[in-house]
Amino acid sequence: MQKLDNKELMPVILLGAGRSGTKFLRSVLASSSEVVAVPYDVGYVWRYGNESISHDQFTSEMLKNNITAYIRNTLPKLANRIGKPHARFMVEKSVPNTLRPNFVYSIYPEAKYIHLIRDGRAVTESSMRMWVQPADKSYLMKKLKYFPWSNYKYAWWYLSNMVKGKFSGKRGQHIWGPRYIGIDEDAANLPLATVCSKQWRMCVEIAQQQLKQIPTSQIMEVRYEELMNDSSCLEKLCDFIGIKDKQNVLQYFESHVDVKNLSAWKSRLSQESYDLIMTEISETLNRLGYNH
C-alpha cells in the first residue's frame, strides 16, 4: 500500500445519489475527533484536467499523473482540521463520484468506500425540489472560499452556471446533481420526474457495478433507512472505517437524527409523478428490496 498524502490521512469516500443522506452521514462521521471532512461537495476538484467533459461518468483512462497528484494534494488542504490535530481519516462525499467509482479508485486505491442507498422514490421527490428551488446565495458564498483558484476558469464557470440556472428557473440552462451521459437532452425533453428518477437509477446501478471491481474489504453498502432507524448500523460503519471514538459519533447522531421525512414522499408526490417515477425505476427498486 502506498504512503498516504498529508500526514497519512486515510481517505473515506462516501458515494450516493444526490439527496441520499451523504451530507448527514459526513457530518455524523466528522463529529469524531479522528475524522476531518471536506465540508462541501467539490466536484470541480475531481474535474481538474477534464473540465470540458459535459458529464460525470469519468473513466480511469482519463487520468494523467498531474491530475492524480492535483486531486490528492488538494483534497486534504480543503478538509476542516480545526481542533483535530490527531485526525486519522478524511471523509469526502462529492456526489458526482457515484457515477465514477473506478475513476476515484484509480486515484485513491487505499481508500474505504461507503455506498449509501436510499429509496429512489424519496430521492426523486427531494431532487425534483432541488432542481427548481431558488439559489441559496449564503450557501454559495460559504462554498466560494473552498474553490481552488488555481483552477479559476472552471470555478468561475461553475458559479456562473449555478447562479444563472437557479435564478432563471429554466431546466435546460442548469443541471442539478450528477450528470449521467445524456442528461442534458433528457432535461430538455422529458418530465422532471423522469429525469430525476433516472438520475437516481444511474447513480445506484453504476456505483454497484463498478464497486464490484474494488476489493470487498474496502467497501460497505449502507441503506439510508436502516442507518436512520438503528444506531448499530453506525457502529458497524465506525468499525469498518477504523474509528475508535464511537461515543462522540453516536451522541451526535442521536441529537441530530430526524426520521420524520423518511416517508414524506408519499404525500408530496402527485399520482402522475409517481407513475412516471415507477416506470423508470420499479425494476431497480425491486432488486434492492424496496417494497412498493
CB 42 within 8 A of CB 146: yes
At residue 5 the predicted structure's pLDDT band, cuts being 50, 70 and 90, is very low
| Burial zone of 134 (CB within 10 Å; 0-12 exposed, 13-18 middle, 19+ buried) | exposed
Tens digit of pLDDT for each residue in 145-184?
Answer: 666 566 666 666 566 556 544 444 444 447 899 999 999 9
Phi-psi region of 177 (alpha: psi -120 to 50; beta: other; left: phi over 0): left
CB 100 within 8 A of CB 58: yes
CA distances from 93 to 20, 35, 107, 263, 277 (A): 11, 13, 15, 24, 26
Q: What is the pTM of this model?
A: 0.89
Residue 6 has pLDDT above 50, yes or no: no
Which residue, 199, 169, 170, is CA-closest to 182? 199
Q: Which contacts qualify for 49-52: CB closer than 8 Å, 24 or more apart?
A: 51/151, 51/153, 51/154, 51/157
CA distances from 37 to 173, 202, 243 (A): 31, 26, 14
Q: What is the pLDDT of residue 163?
A: 57
CB 176 within 8 A of CB 130: yes
- If you average pLDDT over every residue of the chain, what do you get? 89
User: Which domains are assigned to the chain?
Assistant: 5-288 (3.40.50.300)
Tens digit of pLDDT for each residue in 100-153?
Answer: 999 999 999 999 999 999 999 999 999 999 998 765 556 555 555 666 566 666
CA distances from 54 to 50, 57, 150, 157, 235 (A): 9, 9, 21, 13, 39
* Amino acid code (one letter) for 109: P
CA quadruple 133, 155, 27, 180: dihedral positive or negative? positive
Which residue, 92, 55, 62, 61, is CA-closest to 199? 55
Q: What is the pLDDT of residue 33?
A: 95
Q: What percent of the chain has pLDDT over 90?
A: 76
* Amino acid code (one letter) for 247: Q
Neighbours of 66 (CB within 10 A): 10
At residue 291 the predicted structure's pLDDT band, cuts being 50, 70 and 90, is confident
Q: Residue 79, SS3? A: coil
